[in-house]
Amino acid sequence: AKYIEAVIDEYPVVTDLQLKFWDWICDYYLCYAGELLLASLPASLRLASETIVVPIDAGIGVYDKLTDAERVVFDALIENNRMALADIADLLQRKSVYPLVKSMLEKQVVGIEEEVHDRYKVLTKPFVSLAENFKSDAQLNEAFDLLKRAPKQQDALMKVLQLLGGNHQAKIPKSTIISADDSLNAAISSLQKRGILNIEYIPVDRVKGNEADGKVLNLSVAQNGALESIKEGFEQDKVTLLHGVTGSGKTEIYIRLIEETLKKGKQVLYLVPEIALTGQLTGRLEAYFGKQLRVYHSKFSNNERAEIWYKLLDGTEVKLVVGARSAMLMPFSNLGLVIVDEEHDGSYKQQNPAPRYQARDSAIMLAKMHNAKVLLGSATPAIESYFNAKKSKFHYVPLLERFGKAVLPNIELVDLKKATRDQQIQGEFSDRLLDAISDTINGGEQVILFQNRRGFSPRWLCTTCGWCPECKNCDITLTYHKYKHNLRCHYCGYLLNPPPKCLACGSPSLKMIGFGTEKIEEDLSMLLKDARVGRMDYDSTRGKNAYQQIIHDFETNKINVLVGTQMVTKGLDFDRVGLVGILSADQMLSFPDFRSNERSYQLMMQVAGRAGRREKPGKVLIQTYNTEHWLLQAIVNGNQDLVYQKETQDRREFLYPPYCRIVNITASHIDKHTVEGAAKELAKQLRVFLGARVLGPEYPPIARVRNKYRMEILVKLDGKVDLVKAKALIQSKSEELKLIKAFKSVRVILDVDPY
Ligand code: ADP
Ligand code: ZN
Ligand code: ZN
């Protein structure tokens, strides 16, 4: 028997259902419980203890053994008996004091203890006030006398008095005192120890909810019909797919369903593909649901995330969580509804690191565990979802008209072959597109241009010998970024200064091939002087509020042409977009992946959906060298059925999801022969049981990334094989590979239902 030293939690920070759900993810996606914990728990909830440093009676002459910095620490320890590492760091104003403490440990002047850390501290902030005995002016004068030889502490006390502004009973956040001068931090600790100041931890809201102020809108007849049909699906306990074209007003329907669920006292999870892109949406939801809603955001700090976690757990205020895929890993106890908005979006699948789960598919399981309803919404449903709807596994609800007077935009192809032949092209712009842009902005409307590649130009080429700059760590050509004037690898970040001459043959004739968003932005600014061009891509939105700023500039017409990557395709709702231009459909269509048709279709339809969302009809121009391509023809003719029919047919013929499940196995290692040996061995082992279902191994299109070679094995699990057993086999065979000495350090990654 041992004594209980401390109670870490008064109640569990993880719910039963959450554990059950995590277990399911681990089983299905072949990952480990630890990987799931890391992905789920905010770090402040993971720490259970902290390191405390205590002084050891080191005898006479101890000071002679110590450096100056160590002496300061030692003095403080003698005074306080014990200090946390973080407090020592505060005292010395250093980020890390571990090397210092380590050296003191070696000299045996200090020891360390582990102390249970107070998790709930993440819900509080330190506030400073005058101690009871130092509230009157006379007492304060006395205090300043005491501090004669401590000028820093005098400064700190002065600052506190100044901030108290005469109200000696008040408490002020410590952060406001040290925000101007963080060297006051240590002085405040000293003043506390002298008994002049009090420090108290008071609960605060780091992420405050907003007050509700929105009126509920009246639904249109079509919206009402869809709402009723969704409820029918719910009554049959079916996953329901709302296929609502862009601008059909899906959000208002969601709002009704959320409201009804909350009224029943149940929780709601609202998943969106990328939370950074949902400012407009969360604004609308907050207006209705006020403080019941919290957005769960990976850009939030640890403590902020921990706070939302606790608030959901205690269940008094927060009932509705809006977030990207990781929000589904939070401690729900009583879900009534899960909404997966833009359910077709590829970012619902986590790629790296593990757990590599598909959030839409997992949401269905999560809802099942809670006995909750599931609504999937999209203007361009995933082939898999559409397939399930056709087979009546999902309840299907179409909403094929836009809300109000808005109509779907008119889509037109621009033949680049012809434009080139007739010399009606400047840079990447056909005259047709350029004229349309110019007409649109002259008419006071705005333009969105989509180019699915960032940077300036994705390839440099020596026209003499064909050399082109490649990454030294990866098998990929470097992309030129003009603004920063460098060549960059989009896989590992490797940078190269653009060489003035070919590095292979010395010829100065280097040519840029292909184009990215940066070049479109620059070219257009030169071609049309009325265009005020803004750009939205990974490079231009890295700062915390950069994205909101660009949206704001577009909303207020400070920019009238927005150039962007797939970011501009997602959920944006602007009043004045008269034209959407797609600079090149061909790059997307030729991407080597079984989903490339589906993805191209979704991207083009989604970006087209940004046009003409109010009274005035919008226009979409798609530039291509392949005007005859069946998919483009289907888009122009609005023949969505054909897209789904042809795609499902192809998938059946070539055996791809939804006709089978795929497990992708990637082996990687620095040495090419080792990878090859390991991958071949693993494939051989798997074939013994799974036969021709095992394909490869093969090198992927980019065979080397960050100096590691990769080989892939594709396992197609059809209906005839026991899925659970087959996956367990794949997992155990991959683990056994490490028992072979030569393959010990080969990394094997399993990806179930890969994207
Ligand atoms: P979707 O998400 O289906 O593309 P949205 O939900 O963004 O469409 O709706 C498109 C536009 O129509 C939005 O500006 C929205 O405010 C407006 N809208 C939708 N439903 C209603 C309604 N019932 N009353 C008034 N405006 C509506
Ligand atoms: Zn050359
Ligand atoms: Zn690289």
pLDDT in tens, 142-184: 889 988 888 888 999 999 999 998 899 999 988 888 776 767 7
Ligand nearest to the CA of 464: 2
For the residues 189-197, what does the mean pLDDT come to?
88
pLDDT in tens, 27-68: 999 999 989 988 898 877 876 667 788 888 766 778 888 898
Output the CA 516–ligand 2 centroid distance in Å.
23
Q: Are 192 and 199 contacting, i.e. CB atoms less than 8 angstroms apart?
A: yes
Assess whether pLDDT exceeds 80 at residue 116: no
pTM tops 0.90, yes or no: no
* Long-range CB contacts (within 8 A, 24+) of 120-125: 121/201, 122/44, 122/45, 122/302, 122/303, 122/306, 122/307, 122/310, 123/203, 123/204, 123/306, 123/307, 123/310, 124/201, 124/202, 124/203, 124/204, 125/173, 125/174, 125/175, 125/201, 125/202, 125/204
Pairing of strands 704-705, 619-624: unpaired
Give alpha helix (H) positions in 391-458: 416-421, 431-442
User: Which atom belonging to ligand 1 lies closest to the Cα atom of 246?
Assistant: 4
Output the CA 468–ligand 2 centroid distance in Å.
8
Question: Which of 217, 252, 345 best tests ligand 1's pocket when mutated (most atoms within 8 Å of CB)?
Answer: 252
Assess whether pLDDT exceeds 90 at residue 202: no
pLDDT in tens, 392-424: 999 999 998 888 888 888 999 999 999 999 999
* Lowest mean pLDDT across 241-245, 405-409, 531-535: 405-409
Output the CA 704–ligand 3 centroid distance in Å.
9
At residue 76, the pLDDT reads 82
Assess whether pLDDT exceeds 70 at residue 117: no
Print the SS3 string covering 572-636. Answer: CCCCCEEEEEECCCHHHHCCCCCCHHHHHHHHHHHHHCCCCCCCCCCEEEEEECCCCCHHHHHHH
Q: What is the CA radius of gyration of the chain?
A: 31
Output the CA 705–ligand 1 centroid distance in Å.
44
Average pLDDT, the chain: 90
Confirm or reject: Cβ of 247 under 6 Å from ligand 1: yes
Q: Are 675 and 669 contacting, i.e. CB atoms less than 8 angstroms apart?
A: yes
Ligand nearest to the CA of 606: 1
Kindly provide the residue ranges of all beta strands, DSSP E only, lying in 56-109, ordered along the sequence.
Answer: 83-84
Angle, helices 85-92/184-193, rounded to nearest 10 degrees: 120
At residue 734, the pLDDT reads 96
Distance CA 481, CA 458 (A): 9
Give percent above pLDDT 70 in the chain. 98
For the residues 358-371, what does the mean pLDDT come to?
97
Ligand nearest to the CA of 461: 2
At residue 47, the pLDDT reads 61
At residue 367, the pLDDT reads 98
Ligand nearest to the CA of 501: 2
Confirm or reject: Cβ of 403 under 6 Å from ligand 1: yes
Confirm or reject: Cβ of 612 under 6 Å from ligand 1: no
Residue scoring higher pLDDT (591 or 34): 34
Output the CA 478–ligand 3 centroid distance in Å.
8
Tell me, what DSSP letter sits at residue 409? P
Question: Which of 399, 573, 616 best tests ligand 1's pocket when mutated (most atoms within 8 Å of CB)?
Answer: 573
Distance CA 335, CA 266 (A): 6
**Residue type (1 letter), 273:** P
| Residue written as token pair 């106890």 | 333
Give the residue among 646, 627, 647, 648 at the shortest CA–CA distance from 636. Answer: 627
Assess whether pLDDT exceeds 80 at residue 253: yes
Tell me if the bond preceding 355 is cis, omega within 30° of 0.
Answer: yes
For the residues 624-629, what does the mean pLDDT come to?
94
3-state secondary structure of 485: coil
For the residues 179-204, what does the mean pLDDT come to?
83
H/E segment holding residue 117:
none
- The complex scores an ipTM of 0.95
Distance CA 24, CA 284 (A): 34
Please, which residues bridge with residue 114 across strands?
A: 51
Give the residue among 88, 94, 51 at the shortest CA–CA distance from 71. Answer: 88
For the residues 694-701, what does the mean pLDDT come to?
93
Count Cα neighbours of 544 within 13 Å in the Cβ-side half-sphere. 5
* Lowest mean pLDDT across 297-311, 347-361, 438-452: 297-311
pLDDT in tens, 211-241: 777 777 899 999 999 999 999 999 999 999 9
Confirm or reject: Cβ of 287 under 6 Å from ligand 1: no
Among protein residues, the one with the nearest Cα to ligand 1's atom 15 is 249
Other Cβ atoms closer than 10 A to 734: 22
Output the CA 246–ligand 1 centroid distance in Å.
9
User: Which atom belonging to ligand 1 lies closest to the Cα atom of 284?
Assistant: 16
At residue 684, the pLDDT reads 97
At residue 277, the pLDDT reads 67
For the residues 418-446, what does the mean pLDDT come to?
94
Among protein residues, the one with the nearest Cα to ligand 1's atom 23 is 219
At residue 182, the pLDDT reads 67
Pairing of strands 267-271, 561-564: unpaired
